[in-house]
């Protein structure tokens, strides 16, 4: 049986990440970066597409597993008839090359452990040439080279294009495996002491987690989400990927399989707000700086997403040799949605830079000029239809959320000029734009018969993004139109009373794609925020409790959840879901959220 998405745990070094299953198999790893080709891709196929399994001989899933307190160091334990053993998996923050370290430790009895390494470069399509060198195994194919060693050395042999090791451990005995990638044209990278690296990794993660200033209920869930967001950060640039995976399906057996190993602008305000709320100003500043570099250029060319270093070209193609997770085909690399027009991203960028300024992050000399350039483009562009926040692959529409975020852009620009008279900008022109957008949205995007805003002008469909209307300050929370929208969205889009779909999809071709999808987890966190803002805090807290209960056994959330099959769906773990968890926790239990609503009064 193919593992479920929630069967995996994450390890990483802030430049790439691996997924480790309950059976001790690393089934996903891209080297050397998040967006590099995978050398383990079994999660999108089977063991023949690359994996590395370490477990007691003949054993199934581990008996229990957990991260060490406030770290990204994973312990998996097996209890067998012969005794008990622990495998500790982690990736130390790199100095030179990326290392995947797996430490096997005997806990009781005498246990035989087997390691099977199947390296398959280029997403499972290339079998490397393996040789012995200096007591190590070296696998080479094209530009990639991987070195494997153990400390102490154990019996290792090759068979059926796999590298096998077998050994026994008694209580207190340890064997550490180190897998190191480096370019094949370079000499062997420096050796890492696995035990020293383990101690340093635990200390570094715990010291980082201790900086979190959230001290409300469910602190463990908040800290785990923040650690996950840190793990999804590409340290050299400060960019944060939406997820470390591609093509984990939104519908099992369906075609809604996308590559999420890039950085989305739609996440920018939520990311800044979460990091600033939790006290991580350094990381917030790095994200803000990545944002400034990525969006620099012609405002008309602003993209919805960029690569880890701000790359603009992310061509989409399919991998025909991979059958997909649970038969969900095609497997896609790259993301064609990069070409879409999504007007909401202008509002999200300007809102993020406004939040950064209000929160005291050091300013950049060109930051205001960039905002002015974006505003000048948006002054006329806001009237266009677009593809909307959810990247529909159907026809463009006048999406209400896109217009609301255009209003946010004008509102934040006006407020900046009003609070800082030394700034130069078109105050009256932007005020006029703000009023025009507001008036048009309330006229064409509101269904007075049902007392709710709608997904797009003239439509009857609803959209969970409408829950953000009070949060961004477009209307105050006590406005009857806001309360009506919250109630309508909850009534029409909810499953199991609390899990929201992104938009209506029954009998309506909204996104131009066949099939359906699961409920979108961040939308349910938005519902909790909206309930809290409208005075229904008890309901909001109950909803929050149910949502964090959907995380897997090590506290991770994917993009979506199937309330019928009771399983996670979509790319995993998902930054958007964990951002929602952190933001809602601060809204319900913490200090005032730096990204809170700004109303026009």
**pLDDT above 90: residue 376:** yes
Q: Does residue 601 sit within a domain?
A: no
Predicted local confidence at residue 267, as pLDDT:
87
CB 287, CB 213: distance < 8 Å: no
Listed in sequence order, the residues at least 6 apart from 316 whose beta carbon sits closer than 8 Å to its beta carbon are 259, 332, 333, 334, 335, 336
Could you give the percent of the chain with pLDDT greater than 70? 97
Same domain, 163 and 228: no
pLDDT tier at 2, thresholds 50, 70, 90? confident
pTM of whole model > 0.85?
yes
pLDDT digits over 44-69, tens only? 999 999 999 999 999 999 999 999 99
pLDDT digits over 310-341, tens only? 999 999 999 999 999 999 999 999 999 999 99
CATH, residue 367:
1.50.10.10
Taking the C-alpha atoms of residue 445 and residue 433, their distance in angstroms, rounded to an integer, is 17
Task: Determine the average pLDDT of the residues in 381-390.
Answer: 95
pLDDT tier at 506, thresholds 50, 70, 90? low
Residue ranges making up the domain that contains 126: 5-209
Both tokens of residue 273?
A: 């707000």
Same domain, 160 and 240: no
Q: Does residue 594 sit within a domain?
A: no
Same domain, 297 and 281: yes
Residue of 492 and 393 predicted with greater confidence:
492
Handedness of CA 588, 225, 490, 400 (dihedral sign): positive
Same domain, 399 and 499: yes
CB 501, CB 520: distance < 8 Å: yes
Predicted local confidence at residue 557, as pLDDT:
98
Both tokens of residue 480?
A: 């009857």
Same domain, 176 and 253: no
**pLDDT above 50: residue 579:** yes
Predicted local confidence at residue 601, as pLDDT:
30
Task: State the helix-helix crossing angle for 575-589 and 268-278, rounded to 10 degrees.
Answer: 50
Instruction: Classify 124 as helix, strand or coil.
Output: helix
CB 409, CB 347: distance < 8 Å: yes
**pLDDT above 70: residue 438:** yes
Q: Does residue 270 sit within a domain?
A: yes
**pLDDT above 50: residue 593:** no
pLDDT tier at 594, thresholds 50, 70, 90? very low
Same domain, 145 and 257: no
Total domains present in the chain: 2
pLDDT digits over 142-178, tens only? 999 999 999 999 999 999 999 999 999 999 999 999 9
Same domain, 135 and 273: no
**pLDDT above 80: residue 381:** yes
pLDDT digits over 512-531, tens only? 676 778 899 999 999 999 99
Among the candidates 209, 240, 266, a domain finishes at: 209
Predicted local confidence at residue 510, as pLDDT:
66
Q: Does residue 599 sit within a domain?
A: no
Mean pLDDT, the chain, whole residue set: 94
CB 480, CB 470: distance < 8 Å: no
Predicted local confidence at residue 513, as pLDDT:
72
Same domain, 175 and 236: no
Predicted local confidence at residue 517, as pLDDT:
85
Same domain, 201 and 218: no
């Amino acid at each position: 049986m193919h593992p479920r998405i929630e069967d995996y745990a994450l390890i990483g070094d802030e430049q790439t990440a691996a997924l480790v299953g309950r059976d001790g198999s690393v089934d996903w790893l891209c080297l050397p970066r998040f967006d590099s080709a995978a050398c383990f891709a079994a999660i999108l196929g089977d063991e023949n597409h690359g994996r590395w399994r370490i477990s007691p001989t003949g054993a199934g899933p581990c008996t229990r597993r957990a991260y060490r307190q406030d770290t990204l160091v994973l312990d998996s334990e097996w209890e067998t008839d012969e005794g008990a053993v622990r495998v500790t998996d982690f990736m130390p923050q790199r100095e030179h090359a990326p290392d995947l370290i797996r430490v096997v430790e005997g806990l009781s009895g005498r246990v035989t452990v087997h390691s099977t390494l199947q390296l398959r470069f280029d997403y499972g399509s290339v079998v490397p040439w393996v040789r012995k060198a200096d007591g190590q195994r070296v696998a080479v194919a094209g530009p990639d080279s991987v070195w494997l060693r153990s400390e102490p050395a154990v019996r290792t042999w090759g068979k059926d294009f796999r590298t096998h090791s077998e050994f026994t451990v008694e209580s207190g005995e340890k064997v550490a495996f180190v897998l190191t990638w480096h370019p094949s044209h370079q000499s062997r990278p420096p050796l890492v002491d696995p035990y020293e690296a383990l101690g340093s990794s635990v200390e570094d993660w715990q010291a980082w987690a201790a900086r979190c200033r959230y001290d409300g209920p469910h602190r463990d869930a908040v800290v785990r989400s923040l650690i996950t967001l840190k793990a999804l950060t590409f340290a050299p640039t400060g960019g944060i990927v939406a997820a470390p995976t591609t093509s984990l399906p939104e519908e099992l057996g369906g075609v809604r399989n996308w590559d999420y190993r890039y950085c989305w602008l739609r996440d920018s305000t939520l990311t800044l707000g979460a990091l600033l709320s939790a006290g991580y100003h350094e990381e917030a500043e790095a994200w803000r700086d990545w944002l400034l570099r990525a969006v620099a250029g012609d405002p008309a060319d602003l993209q919805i997403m960029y690569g880890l270093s701000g790359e603009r070209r992310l061509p989409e193609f399919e991998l025909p040799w991979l059958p997909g997770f649970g038969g969900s085909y095609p497997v896609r690399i790259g993301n064609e949605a990069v070409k879409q027009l999504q007007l909401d991203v202008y509002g999200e960028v300007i809102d993020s830079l406004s939040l950064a300024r209000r929160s005291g992050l050091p300013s950049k000399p060109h930051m205001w000029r960039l905002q002015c350039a974006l505003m000048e483009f948006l002054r006329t562009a806001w009237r266009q239809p677009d593809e909307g926040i959810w990247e529909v692959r159907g026809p463009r529409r006048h999406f209400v959320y896109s217009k609301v975020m255009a209003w946010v852009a004008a509102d934040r620009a006006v407020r900046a000029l009003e609070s800082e008279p030394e700034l130069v900008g078109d105050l009256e022109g932007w005020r006029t734009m703000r009023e025009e957008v507001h008036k048009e949205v309330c006229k064409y995007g509101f269904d007075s018969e049902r007392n709710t805003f709608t997904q797009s002008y003239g439509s009857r469909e609803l959209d969970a993004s409408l829950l953000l209307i009070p949060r961004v300050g477009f209307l105050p929370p006590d406005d009857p139109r806001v309360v009506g929208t919250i109630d309508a969205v909850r009534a029409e889009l909810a499953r199991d009373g609390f899990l929201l779909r992104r938009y209506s999809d029954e009998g309506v071709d909204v996104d131009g794609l066949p099939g359906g999808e699961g409920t979108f987890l961040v939308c349910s966190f938005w519902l909790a925020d909206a309930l809290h803002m409208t005075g229904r805090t008890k309901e909001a807290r109950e909803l929050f409790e149910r949502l964090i209960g959907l995380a897997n056994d090590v506290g991770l959330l994917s993009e979506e959840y199937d309330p019928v099959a009771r399983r996670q769906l979509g790319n995993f773990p998902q930054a958007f879901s964990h951002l929602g968890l952190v933001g809602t926790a601060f809204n319900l239990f913490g200090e005032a959220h730096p990204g809170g609503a700004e109303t026009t009064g």
